[in-house]
Amino acid sequence: MDSKEFKKFREKLNKTQKQMAQLLGVSIKAVHSYEQGWRNIPANVERQMFFLLSRMDGNPKDRKPCWVIKKCPTETKKQCPAWEFQAGELCWFINGNICCGDACMDWADKMKCCRSCKVFKSFF
């Protein structure tokens, strides 16, 4: 997530910098620095921002799970934590899923895969 995207999402959440700082558990100065591009946005902040955005539009239970949308075979589902924990609408939030072939072990690699996925894109 870059500074422009961070600001756009904060505004979409209809939050001031102070309110966003409280929601994210960071200082107002940190939020200002993220928006100015003076600081990189940490993975935990990006993840929480996406989570908050995912809760804005309606009931998440109304969404189809990722394994239905992506038509995952049974063997793939059995290896996937999103299926194991029945969190198909939050697959992008859970590390260890295997959408890109192998489990991504860090957030940056995972988000490269997720940002091109229609499940993730449906939220943003």
Summarised one tens digit per residue, pLDDT across range 32-83 is 999 999 999 999 999 999 999 888 876 566 778 899 988 999 988 888 999 9
Residue 66 phi/psi, 5-degree rounding, is: -55, -40
Q: What is the mean pLDDT of the chain?
A: 89
Instruction: Check residues 14 and 99 and name the one with the higher pLDDT.
Output: 14
What pLDDT does 61 receive? Answer: 62
What pLDDT does 58 receive? Answer: 63
CATH class of 3-54: mainly alpha
What is the C-alpha to C-alpha distance for residues 104 and 108, in angstroms, rounded to an integer? 9
Q: Where in the chain is the domain with CATH 1.10.260.40?
A: 3-54
Q: How many CB atoms lie within 10 A of CB 85?
A: 11
Tokens linked to 85: 């924990």
